[in-house]
Amino acid sequence: MSARRFNWPLWAGFLLTLIASLSYVTFFVKFPETRDFPWVNLLLFLLAAMLVVVGIRRGFARDRAHPTRSKIVTSIVAALSALVVASFIFAIFIAARWLPASTGAPHVGQKVPEFTLSDANGRQVSLNQLISEPIGGQAPKGVLLVFYRGWW
């Protein structure tokens, strides 16, 4: 076998786990089809895992120039890759479910509480205004209230 200095599958696999994680929050989250279930990212993780497995086999091969050092580096990079995948799974499937039950939220058929809040320009806006001010010359049929976490 040829002299294998650089264990590229190992590092490519590690890099791919990082790309797979970051691409979800920076890109795939923009599209409902790839956001609701992160299948693209999980596929990328699968590819990364295959690369890392190949990398581990290389790193533990007997023909390495520095077998001990190679084994240590390989183990650390493989463990880091696993950690990245585990963090992603934890953040998306577990921590994201830590939401209050909100059992006291208005139900279907109930009236929602009236409110007056200021908009982005500092103008005071009431719910009553929102459901009565015309939209394009027509009386509105209703409002869609979207509560979001915000940037804080």
Residue numbers at the binding site for other proteins (CB under 8 A): 29-30, 32, 35-36, 38, 92-93, 96-97, 99-100, 102-115, 117-122, 125, 127-128, 130-133, 135-136, 138-152
Q: Which two tokens stand for residue 110?
A: 């109930």
Nearer to other proteins, 13 or 38 (CB): 38
CA distances from 92 to 18, 89, 146, 148 (A): 15, 5, 21, 17
Q: State how far Cα 17 lies from the chain centre.
A: 13
- Minimum CB separation from other proteins for residue 131, in Å? 5
Strand (E) or helix (H) holding 75: helix 67-89
Nearer to other proteins, 6 or 147 (CB): 147
Nearer to other proteins, 43 or 76 (CB): 43
